[in-house]
Structure 1
Amino acid sequence: MKVALILATNVEKSPYMQYYIDVYKEKNIDVEVILLNRDKRVSNEEFPYKIHSCDIIARETASCVRKIYDYFRYSRFVRRILKQSDYSQIVVFTIANAVFLSYYLLSYYKKKYIFDIRDYSPLVKYTVPIIRRLLNNSALNCFSSPGFRSWLPACDYVICHNARRKSLDEDIVNARDIDVENVKVLTIGQLRNFITNKMLMDHLGNKSRITIQFSGMGIAYDLLKKYEVKKMYNNVKFTGYYPKKEEFSIVDGCDFMNIILPDDTLSRYLISNRFYLSLLRRKPMIVSSGGIQAEYVKEYDLGIIVSSEDDIYSKIMIYARSFDPIQFQKNCDRFLEMVRLDMQIFSRSVFYSLNL
């Protein structure tokens, strides 16, 4: 038996594919990966699975027209690979991939594909009938956030969190006290949004007893560095690209995780990778008000909810002074127990969808 994972980017930017590989590996099912290689970074040399790479070089800031054209070209490449191989099941990641492959999926893989949705797509407002058919004719629908129900057609689905089952058992550490004289706020991963990260710098720049660290690259990286120089902030640090294996050690060196996102449909309903990093490594998070992450932070007491009108510096320092690592650890565990249950359901559902 052989399955294909159809990605919308390269392996390095698609950690969620590993959640499926873990399930298939348990059942000794062969896995192949079809990917859109936009930046010539196909895979880690240690990646042990066959890759079909469609090399279409394009910037992340490309126009909508260019992105649509690229997806059209990529869909032709994917269809060619699918016709050449006999896959028992395919997993289609992202709405754009599924929409551009919709005719082929509905014609040749009805009830044999998994539709995995990780975030909002501008295509949604134009393709609701197509998305509804795709959701109704899949073998399984997997969402990374229950918040997606607000903008997707009604359907059956399971939640696949942005956390491996292995990590939920092996990568958890104990919470530690916060040194209120040396508080570090970390933003890690893709630096996509200039406005929200600029806001954080404006609130915390040149403040005593606090430093801001940005680790990772992205379309906002250069703009943020230029802004930091322009404002002459003396407590902001950029560390740039980091190998995935160093992620935990970087997080362990901070006190707060910045997860302030824009107030838009894309950000309001998602649960980010940083959210899970915060839980696993026991770091209180700073989240923007009005989204599903803020709901969870409030319900489980996982950090601070802020808006641009708040005195974010004061909120952080007040929280740091009263921080109780033992209680915070219990709060994280409560949420992670829900995540474990959801991931168990996900794993079973993927297995059952194979109809073995």
Structure 2
Amino acid sequence: MKIGLIGFSTRNYIPYIEYYENIFKSNNISYECIFWDRFNSDNTKKKSNEYTIHVVCKPGMNKLRKIFPMYKFKMELERIIEKEQYTHLVVLTTVPGVLIWKKLLAGFKNKYILDIRDYSYEKYSWYRKIVEQLIANSYFTVISSNGFKTFLPQSDKIITCHNIGKNFSEEKEIGDLKKKEKIIIGFVGGVRYFDENCKFIQIFANNPKYQLYYIGKRNLDCDLEGYCKRNNIKNVVFKGEFKNEDKPEIYRKIDFINAIYGNKSLEVTTALPNRLYDGILFKKPIIASEGTYLGNVVDEYGLGIVININKPTKNIIEKFDKYINNFDGVNFVKKCQEFKEKIFFEQDNFLKHIRLFTSKIN
């Protein structure tokens, strides 16, 4: 008996894989991970119990140019599954599941977990129909946001798992924002959403009270640094890729978390990004967009500020000033704790389901 965990990127972008690995290890279940390095071209390599498929398919590439890399990934993935003779699978995100859906339905019915962490190609009816079949034939299906229920079929196999980690020492308090001479707003993670962040930068452009940080690898189509240079915007700092263990130090230097993704598509309106959980753990208010599920959560639980980036700059700055002047750090920490208890309740249910899955293997 051996489980294959199928990722759609490198380990650094799939921190939640550890939930599965920890339970498999504790139950002496044999497993291997399959990752996709989409930034480098090379032969597939195996180190210890990890395969890495090297096929270039960078974010921001033309959709037609992605077809051949996707096909190469699919063929290599199926080759590894056949070679290693996995008896059970964990499929992380729908795209690899759709790529090998025939194999899953033919050979792994009720022997795989489908883990859905984002909206991808559900706008296409054929894609939705395949995903519906994958959910129906899974042992169980995980979603990382209840907002996904707006585009997924109803199913009693769907449970919720949040992208919150337990590896960091949780901050217990927050400084007094009212006493800060300069407010630091940080965008931490893969830098994308060019149009939305250009508007966001313009709101605070060269405002001496605010400084914006963008920390992480940027998408090819999101040259915000070039935008700032062309427009002579001086109060924006850009830093490159970071390691997950760097997060505590990064967030200590930040006052607000930039989680502005706009509200143009279901991809951004339904997701709960990692930054929500970073905010809860590191006690930093989140800035979210109106018209998104994240915005609804932030507003309902008092976890930050919700704005419409299309409104006049003056109105938004006034909203920030009011939030800062009325900020109660003790109450904010309490709100974070209340929401954390809710999501950890759902996490425990998720972990229970993995253990049940594991018990069927032994």
TM-score by structure 2 length? 0.91
Would you say 1:253 and 2:253 are equivalent positions?
yes
Residue 165 of structure 1 and its aligned partner are, at CA, apart by 4.2
Bigger mean CA offset, 255-264 vs 173-182: 173-182
The correspondence of residues 108-147 of structure 1 with structure 2, limited to 5 A, is 108-125=107-124, 126-147=126-147
The correspondence of residues 114-193 of structure 1 with structure 2, limited to 5 A, is 114-125=113-124, 126-155=126-155, 156-167=157-168, 170-178=169-177, 179-193=179-193
Q: Is the contact between residue 5 and residue 92 of structure 1 (CA under 8 Å) also seen in structure 2? A: yes
User: Which ranges of structure 1 fall in alignment gaps of 5 or more residues?
Assistant: none
Q: Is the contact between residue 142 and residue 158 of structure 2 (CA under 8 Å) also seen in structure 1? A: yes
Q: C-alpha deviations, 1:137-168, integer Å up to 9, x for none?
A: 0011000111101001111211111112445x
Q: Is the contact between residue 172 and residue 280 of structure 1 (CA under 8 Å) also seen in structure 2? A: yes
Residue 176 of structure 1 and its aligned partner are, at CA, apart by 2.1
Residue 242 of structure 2: aligned partner = 242
Q: Is the contact between residue 183 and residue 210 of structure 1 (CA under 8 Å) also seen in structure 2? A: yes
Q: What letter is aligned with 1:141?
A: T
Q: Is the contact between residue 31 and residue 49 of structure 1 (CA under 8 Å) also seen in structure 2? A: no
Q: Aligned partners of 2:66, 2:12: CA distance in 1, in Å?
A: 20
Bigger mean CA offset, 196-205 vs 240-249: 240-249
Q: Is the contact between residue 205 and residue 235 of structure 1 (CA under 8 Å) also seen in structure 2? A: yes
Residue 228 of structure 1 and its aligned partner are, at CA, apart by 0.8
Q: C-alpha deviations, 1:293-317, integer Å up to 9, x for none?
A: 1111111111111002153222222
Q: Aligned partners of 2:41, 2:55: CA distance in 1, in Å?
A: 12
Q: Is the contact between residue 93 and residue 116 of structure 1 (CA under 8 Å) also seen in structure 2? A: yes
Q: What letter is aligned with 1:299?
A: E
Q: Aligned partners of 1:342, 1:88: CA distance in 2, in Å?
A: 28
Q: What letter is aligned with 1:269?
A: T
Q: What letter is aligned with 1:290?
A: G
The correspondence of residues 1-356 of structure 1 with structure 2, limited to 5 A, is 1-40=1-40, 50-125=49-124, 126-155=126-155, 156-167=157-168, 170-178=169-177, 179-219=179-219, 223-263=223-263, 264-308=265-309, 309-310=311-312, 311-354=315-358, 355=360, 356=362
Residue 232 of structure 1 and its aligned partner are, at CA, apart by 1.4
Residue 201 of structure 1 and its aligned partner are, at CA, apart by 0.8
| Other structure's SS at 2:59 match | coil
Q: Is the contact between residue 23 and residue 355 of structure 2 (CA under 8 Å) also seen in structure 1? A: yes
User: Which ranges of structure 2 fall in alignment gaps of 5 or more residues?
Assistant: none
Q: Residues 134 and 270 (structure 1 numbering): CA distance in 2 closer, same or farther, change over 3 Å?
A: same
- What is the percentage of aligned positions where both structures have the same residue? 27
Bigger mean CA offset, 174-183 vs 33-42: 33-42
Q: Aligned partners of 1:75, 1:296: CA distance in 2, in Å?
A: 36
Q: Is the contact between residue 18 and residue 164 of structure 1 (CA under 8 Å) also seen in structure 2? A: no
Q: What letter is aligned with 1:113?
A: Y
Bigger mean CA offset, 309-318 vs 292-301: 309-318
Q: Aligned partners of 2:222, 2:93: CA distance in 1, in Å?
A: 27
| Other structure's SS at 2:121 match | coil
Q: Residues 64 and 346 (structure 1 numbering): CA distance in 2 closer, same or farther, change over 3 Å?
A: same
Residue 230 of structure 1 and its aligned partner are, at CA, apart by 1.6
Q: C-alpha deviations, 1:49-97, integer Å up to 9, x for none?
A: 5122221123222222232332222121111111122324211112111
Q: Residues 18 and 272 (structure 1 numbering): CA distance in 2 closer, same or farther, change over 3 Å?
A: same
| Other structure's SS at 1:147 match | helix
Q: What letter is aligned with 2:50?
A: I
Q: Aligned partners of 1:116, 1:88: CA distance in 2, in Å?
A: 18
Q: Aligned partners of 1:99, 1:119: CA distance in 2, in Å?
A: 14
Q: Is the contact between residue 193 and residue 222 of structure 2 (CA under 8 Å) also seen in structure 1? A: no
Residue 269 of structure 1 and its aligned partner are, at CA, apart by 0.3
Q: Residues 221 and 331 (structure 1 numbering): CA distance in 2 closer, same or farther, change over 3 Å?
A: farther
Q: What letter is aligned with 1:96?
A: V
Bigger mean CA offset, 233-242 vs 276-285: 233-242
Residue 105 of structure 1 and its aligned partner are, at CA, apart by 0.4
| Other structure's SS at 1:130 match | helix
Q: What letter is aligned with 2:343?
A: V
Q: What letter is aligned with 1:190?
A: G
Q: Aligned partners of 1:245, 1:131: CA distance in 2, in Å?
A: 34
Q: What letter is aligned with 1:67?
A: K
Q: Is the contact between residue 257 and residue 274 of structure 1 (CA under 8 Å) also seen in structure 2? A: yes
Q: Is the contact between residue 257 and residue 287 of structure 2 (CA under 8 Å) also seen in structure 1? A: yes
Residue 245 of structure 1 and its aligned partner are, at CA, apart by 1.7
Q: What letter is aligned with 1:55?
A: H
Q: Aligned partners of 2:352, 2:336: CA distance in 1, in Å?
A: 24
Q: Aligned partners of 1:41, 1:259: CA distance in 2, in Å?
A: 32
Q: Is the contact between residue 19 and residue 164 of structure 1 (CA under 8 Å) also seen in structure 2? A: no
Q: Aligned partners of 1:319, 1:165: CA distance in 2, in Å?
A: 29
Q: Is the contact between residue 217 and residue 240 of structure 2 (CA under 8 Å) also seen in structure 1? A: yes
Q: Is the contact between residue 192 and residue 222 of structure 2 (CA under 8 Å) also seen in structure 1? A: no
Q: Is the contact between residue 306 and residue 312 of structure 1 (CA under 8 Å) also seen in structure 2? A: yes
Q: C-alpha deviations, 1:190-238, integer Å up to 9, x for none?
A: 0011111111110001112111111112116862111111221221111
